[in-house]
């Protein structure tokens, strides 16, 4: 089992790493052209340009660059970023915690809320109000991240001035109490987190609602009702437990998509995570930085998928099926 | 389950609670502001501000660097002024520059700045490129004459030397950099030790925020503020109203007017020093004919383009001779192309591009290349349709844009620039192909007379003679139209005058003509 998962995801990962080298280079223009192409940028003299090309090894053949890239991969080193002029590993490690923090919290929040809404909505699915609720949730789920973010930004940050517009913290906040510092970080992360939560809540909600409706019609629920078990206990103990399995797989996939959603949200709120960094790296054709970031993104997404594949049979022995000798 | 609900409520309370607690914390920090004078300016991340690593995407990096490092000369609202060098002499053949240096200058670490450091810097930058286009091939050697005298010899006469090299090249400490072999990778705190009016207190590369602290022992005079912060806010004008920053730059005149009404100070860049222009591909079969280029110039109502895009009715229509009308180098009676549809039609008819029944000249379909969305291109499209030219707009990102420009895969393109009010040598750099800002240099203008004049003006030490040469260059540009300037775009600096109001426009623009207000001299009391 483990071996199977490892070979499958291992080979996918290797293919991704190869694409990671060639795709950026297939885009028109390179880092020098990007610098060249800036409005109000400098005018590079030919000598300056030559020295840059030499320094960044851009005159080396594709083969040589590829060997360098592979060598770097072994040591998890991607070289120096063209635009930041810092080692790529340092830059990624600097930005990664911001993304982990907003994606982590919004995953948890969207799961908790999605499950709660789904359970109760399934419980009341025969009422008219629930239908409206479901339609609203579906509509919300169809909105793109940047639109939701833009609306929240306008309402809470611009008109109400209630939350900060951008950034991850108050710049150079000098405070002795670390409570103020944490509060400041939480306040800056609030809008990005709410945005990511809103857009990802509906898929969990719909799934849980469906599961709930199915479970409710099972005879054991009928029986439990007859025994006179209290409503809350019925919903949280009996129904939730039986609806949890598919949610698990969904959760693993959601985490991956939330990371990609973070690209838009971070750009909108100029939140310094790896999503915003990736956008900048692509625009400036910063190959080493792109290598590093794609590596992190593909590793995270594949890891969660592999984890789901690995854990699911353990949670639900039925899917093991097929091989009866096992 | 109740626990989870409780947790959720707790999180909600926490978030709402935070906003309150933060208000109180910012009010406490405000009371702390009374004894510290802090100026906060909005600008995007410009990289680690050492002379080798600052970001060259826009002028921010060079300006951040100039807060930490000094140059031999500098500029303020009167033009070039002495900075590290109180005086200098130029030899008759314009080849030797002898600078006397200020005596009591120290670097931030307490070591004194002497002729050795100047000589070292000039040699070091010959080996390791300075990032803000400084042509070090013009410098032959730098020699120490005494502890406070340096002689710099050029390889050929280069009249803009005082502003274009001496005014740009930072003097770096020999005792630090002589040990550094890979300056690009050297990002220790020592890499930021210069002699400038500020030291870098902190820089957060993730968010792009800078905090500069006052240099207490600045040689040139007292630094009038304690701290300058550069904050990478997403929308400067909104952040300004939210009091997150005290000043920021914008092009949007409508916003400027609103903010001016609500009491903010506004400084318009004068001279404008910038241009939005159409670059013609001179290798293109049709566009290589100057008559067609002139017809396009007549067909475009450039004042209306400018008015619509800047939101301001007082616009400066692009000069056909490229140098903006408010520059001292502008030639007054240079040929201009006023909006004239009949004339455009007449020229196009004469060129043999005939209109069909629908009024379209079928043989003449052109395209315009733009990076990012360009409203100019949209307006051009409808104006050119009036004279029967079909214009196709191609939008690409900036790296693709400059590749297409370099390979000549375009008919026309639209670009924006700054630096037009500085030394007129930029005309030579733009059109000679020697400098390679694709927006500027790649479209080589093969006009012998122009190239001759371009090299001549470099050698003319007499300003009146040089002006005459530059005038002739403008005449050629206006007649041949290798490029058509649509308009000269003003920059507005909007600021909270209760925090700091000493801003001024630098004569001809900071350094090589940067039309921004954050000149370090603003914060130094040197007069």
Residue range A12-40, pLDDT digits in tens: 988 988 888 888 888 887 777 776 666 55
Chain-centre distance of CA B246, in angstroms? Answer: 21
Q: For an interface test with B, which of A28, A40, A57, A269 has the most B Cβ atoms less than 10 Å from its Cβ? A: A40
Q: Distance between CA atoms of B103 and B148, rounded to whole angstroms?
A: 7
Whether the predicted pLDDT of B199 surpasses 80: yes
Only one residue has tokens 């004894």, namely: B35
Whether the predicted pLDDT of A47 surpasses 80: no
Closest alpha carbon to A107 in A185, A199, A191: A199
In this complex, the residue of A34, A39, A158 whose CB is nearest that of residue B238 is A158
DSSP letter at A83 equals T
Q: For an interface test with B, which of A25, A30, A33, A47 has the most B Cβ atoms less than 10 Å from its Cβ? A: A33
Q: Which residues of A touch B398 (CB under 8 A)?
A: 29, 34, 37-38, 283
Chain-centre distance of CA B149, in angstroms? Answer: 32
Q: For an interface test with B, which of A112, A172, A178, A230 has the most B Cβ atoms less than 10 Å from its Cβ? A: A172
Residue B392: the pLDDT is 93
Interchain pair A41, B58: CB under 8 A: yes
CB crowding B391-425: b at 16 or more within 10 Å, else e = beebebbbbbbbbbbbeeebbbbbbbbbbbbbbbb
Q: What is the pLDDT of residues B404-445, one digit of tens each?
A: 887 888 899 998 888 888 888 888 888 876 655 555 545 668
Long-range contacts of A171-180 (CB under 8 A, 24+ apart): A171/B40, A171/B204, A171/B207, A171/B209, A171/B211, A171/B229, A171/B231, A172/B202, A172/B209, A172/B211, A172/B229, A173/B25, A173/B29, A174/B29, A175/B25, A175/B29, A179/B21, A180/B21, A180/B22, A180/B25
Half-sphere exposure of B378 toward its Cβ, with a 13 Å CA cutoff?
6
Q: Which residues of A touch B403 (CB under 8 A)?
A: 28-30, 33
Count other C-beta atoms under 10 Å from residue A248's C-beta.
13
Interchain pair B438, A94: CB under 8 A: no
Q: In this complex, is the C-beta atom of B420 within 8 Å of any C-beta atom belonging to chain A?
A: no
Residue B38: the pLDDT is 93
In this complex, the residue of B62, B137, B437 whose CB is nearest that of residue A43 is B437
Q: In this complex, is the C-beta atom of B405 within 8 Å of any C-beta atom belonging to chain A?
A: yes
Closest alpha carbon to B131 in B249, B46, B200, B67: B46
Q: In this complex, is the C-beta atom of B437 within 8 Å of any C-beta atom belonging to chain A?
A: yes
Q: Distance between CA atoms of A303 and B113, rounded to whole angstroms?
A: 56
Only one residue has tokens 């600021």, namely: B495
Phi/psi for B508 (5° steps) reads 75, 5
To the question of domain A92-320 being in CATH 1.10.10.10, the answer is no
Q: Distance between CA atoms of B97 and B73, rounded to whole angstroms?
A: 12
Question: What is the average pLDDT score of chain B?
Answer: 86
Supply B214's token pair.
């006052």
- Residue A82 Cα, gap to closest chain B Cα (Å): 10
SS3 state at A22: helix
Count other C-beta atoms under 10 Å from residue A166's C-beta.
23
Which one is predicted more confidently, B144 or A177? Answer: B144
The bridge status of strand B365-371 relative to strand B390-396 is parallel
Q: Distance between CA atoms of A100 and A91, rounded to whole angstroms?
A: 15
> Where would I find the beta strands (DSSP E) of B159-254?
198-204, 209-214, 222-223, 227-231, 247-250
Q: In this complex, is the C-beta atom of B436 within 8 Å of any C-beta atom belonging to chain A?
A: yes
Closest alpha carbon to B298 in B410, B387, B362, B370: B387
Residue B26: the pLDDT is 39
Q: For an interface test with B, which of A30, A58, A85 has the most B Cβ atoms less than 10 Å from its Cβ? A: A85
Residue B16: the pLDDT is 45
Count other C-beta atoms under 10 Å from residue B106's C-beta.
15
Q: Are B136 and B130 in contact (CB under 8 A)?
A: yes
Residue B142: the pLDDT is 94
What mean pLDDT do residues B310-336 have? 89
Count other C-beta atoms under 10 Å from residue B212's C-beta.
27
Q: In this complex, is the C-beta atom of B241 within 8 Å of any C-beta atom belonging to chain A?
A: no
Interchain pair B233, A172: CB under 8 A: no
SS3 state at A8: helix
Q: B144 pairs with which residues across the strands?
A: B150
Residue B246: the pLDDT is 93
- Residue B45 Cα, gap to closest chain A Cα (Å): 10
Phi/psi for B139 (5° steps) reads -95, 125
Start-end of H helices in chain A: 2-26, 31-36, 46-55, 62-74, 88-123, 128-142, 145-152, 178-216, 219-227, 231-233, 240-268, 274-283, 287-315
Q: Distance between CA atoms of B172 and B303, rounded to whole angstroms?
A: 46
Q: For an interface test with A, which of B237, B438, B489 has the most A Cβ atoms less than 10 Å from its Cβ? A: B438
Supply B477's token pair.
């540009």
Q: What is the pLDDT of residues B489-516, one digit of tens each?
A: 888 999 999 999 999 999 888 888 888 9
Interchain pair B206, A187: CB under 8 A: no
- At B80, which helix (H) or strand (E)? strand B79-82
Q: What is the pLDDT of residues B94-122, one digit of tens each?
A: 899 999 999 989 999 999 999 999 999 99
In this complex, the residue of B8, B22, B57 whose CB is nearest that of residue A35 is B57
In this complex, the residue of B22, B58, B231 whose CB is nearest that of residue A187 is B22
Interchain pair A190, B15: CB under 8 A: yes
What mean pLDDT do residues A111-131 have? 88
Q: Distance between CA atoms of A200 and A144, rounded to whole angstroms?
A: 10
Interchain pair A33, B438: CB under 8 A: yes
Q: In this complex, is the C-beta atom of B501 within 8 Å of any C-beta atom belonging to chain A?
A: no
* pLDDT band (50, 70, 90) for residue B21: very low
Question: What is the average pLDDT score of chain A?
Answer: 84
Domain boundaries, chain A: 1-88, 92-320
Interchain pair B58, A37: CB under 8 A: no
Only one residue has tokens 């009591």, namely: B104
What mean pLDDT do residues B19-36 have? 45
Q: In this complex, is the C-beta atom of B137 within 8 Å of any C-beta atom belonging to chain A?
A: yes
Residue B503: the pLDDT is 93
Residue A38: the pLDDT is 62
Residue B436: the pLDDT is 55
The yes/no answer to whether this complex scores an ipTM above 0.85 is no
> Where would I find the beta strands (DSSP E) of B119-170?
139-146, 149-154
């Amino acid at each position: 089992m483990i071996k199977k998962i490892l070979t499958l995801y291992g080979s996918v990962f290797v293919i991704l790493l190869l694409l990671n080298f060639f795709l950026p280079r297939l885009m028109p223009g390179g880092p020098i052209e990007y610098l060249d192409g800036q409005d109000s940028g400098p005018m590079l003299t030919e000598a300056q340009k030559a020295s840059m090309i030499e320094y960044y090894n851009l005159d080396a053949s594709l083969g040589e660059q590829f060997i360098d890239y592979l060598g770097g991969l072994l040591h998890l080193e991607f070289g120096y970023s063209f635009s930041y002029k810092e080692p790529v590993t340092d830059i990624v490690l600097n930005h990664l915690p911001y993304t982990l923090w907003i994606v982590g919290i919004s995953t948890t929040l969207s799961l908790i809320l999605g499950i709660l809404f789904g359970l109760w909505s399934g419980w009341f699915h025969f009422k008219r109000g629930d239908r409206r609720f479901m339609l609203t949730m579906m509509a919300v789920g169809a909105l793109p991240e940047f639109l939701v973010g833009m609306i929240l930004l306008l309402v809470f940050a611009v008109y109400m001035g209630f939350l900060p517009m951008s950034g991850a913290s108050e710049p150079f906040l000098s405070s002795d109490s670390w409570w103020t510092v944490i509060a400041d970080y939480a306040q800056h992360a609030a809008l990005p987190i709410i945005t990511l939560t809103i857009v990802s809540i509906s898929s969990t909600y719909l799934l849980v609602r469906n599961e709930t409706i199915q479970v409710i019609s099972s005879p054991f629920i009928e029986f439990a009702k007859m025994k006179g078990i209290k409503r809350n206990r019925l919903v949280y103990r009996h129904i939730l437990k039986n609806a949890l399995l598919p949610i698990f797989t969904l959760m693993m996939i959601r985490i991956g998509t939330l990371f990609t959603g973070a690209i838009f949200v971070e750009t909108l709120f100029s939140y310094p995570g790896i999503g915003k960094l990736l956008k900048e790296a692509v625009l400036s054709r910063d190959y080493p930085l792109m290598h590093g970031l794609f590596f992190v993104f593909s590793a995270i997404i594949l890891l969660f998928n592999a984890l789901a594949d690995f854990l699911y049979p353990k949670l639900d022995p039925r899917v093991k099926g097929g091989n009866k000798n096992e | 389950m109740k626990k989870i609900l409780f947790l959720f409520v707790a999180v909600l309370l926490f978030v709402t609670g935070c906003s309150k607690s933060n208000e109180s914390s910012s009010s406490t920090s405000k009371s702390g502001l009374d004894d510290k004078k802090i100026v906060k300016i909005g600008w995007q991340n410009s990289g680690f501000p050492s002379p080798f690593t600052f970001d060259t995407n826009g002028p921010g990096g060079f300006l951040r660097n100039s807060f930490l490092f000094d140059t031999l000369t500098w500029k303020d609202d009167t033009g070039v002024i002495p900075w590290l060098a109180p005086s200098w002499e130029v030899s008759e053949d314009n080849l030797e520059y002898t600078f006397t240096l200020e005596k009591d200058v120290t670097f931030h670490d307490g070591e004194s700045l002497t002729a050795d450091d100047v000589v070292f810097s000039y040699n070091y930058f010959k080996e390791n490129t300075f990032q803000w286009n400084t042509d070090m091939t013009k410098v032959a050697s730098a020699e120490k004459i005494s502890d406070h005298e340096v002689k710099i010899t050029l390889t050929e006469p280069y009249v803009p030397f005082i502003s274009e090299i001496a005014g740009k090249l930072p003097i770096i400490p020999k005792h630090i950099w002589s040990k550094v072999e890979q300056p690009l990778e050297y990002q220790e705190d020592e890499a930021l030790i210069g002699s400038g009016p500020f030291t870098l207190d902190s820089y957060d590369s993730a968010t792009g925020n800078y905090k500069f602290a006052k240099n207490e022992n600045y040689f040139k005079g007292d630094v009038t503020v304690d701290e300058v912060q550069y904050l990478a806010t997403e929308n400067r004008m909104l952040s300004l109203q939210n009091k997150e920053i005290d000043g920021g730059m914008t092009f949007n005149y409508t916003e400027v007017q609103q903010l001016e009404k609500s009491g903010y100070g506004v400084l318009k860049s004068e001279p404008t020093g910038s241009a939005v222009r159409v670059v013609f591909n001179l290798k293109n079969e049709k566009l290589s004919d100057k008559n067609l280029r002139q017809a396009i110039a007549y067909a475009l109502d450039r004042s209306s383009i400018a008015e619509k895009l800047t939101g301001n009715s007082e616009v400066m229509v692009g000069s056909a001779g490229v140098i903006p009308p408010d520059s001292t180098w502008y030639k007054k009676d240079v040929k201009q192309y006023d909006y004239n549809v009949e004339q455009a039609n007449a020229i196009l008819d004469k060129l043999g591009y005939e209109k069909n029944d629908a009024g379209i000249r079928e043989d003449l379909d052109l395209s315009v290349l733009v990076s990012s969305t360009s409203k100019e291109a949209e307006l051009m499209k409808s104006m050119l349709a009036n004279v029967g030219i079909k214009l196709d707009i191609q939008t690409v990102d900036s790296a693709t844009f400059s590749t297409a420009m370099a390979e000549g895969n375009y008919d026309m393109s639209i670009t924006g620039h700054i630096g037009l009010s500085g030394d007129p040598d930029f005309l030579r750099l733009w059109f000679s192909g020697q400098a390679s800002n694709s927006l500027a240099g790649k479209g080589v203008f093969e006009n012998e007379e122009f190239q001759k004049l371009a090299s001549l003006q470099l050698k003319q030490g007499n300003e009146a003679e040089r002006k005459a040469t530059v005038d002739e260059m403008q005449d050629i540009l206006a007649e041949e139209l290798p490029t058509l300037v649509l308009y000269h775009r003003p920059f507005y600096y909007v600021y909270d005058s209760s925090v700091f109001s000493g801003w001024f426009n630098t004569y001809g623009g900071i350094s090589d003509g940067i039309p921004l207000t954050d000149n370090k001299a603003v914060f130094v009391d040197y007069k």
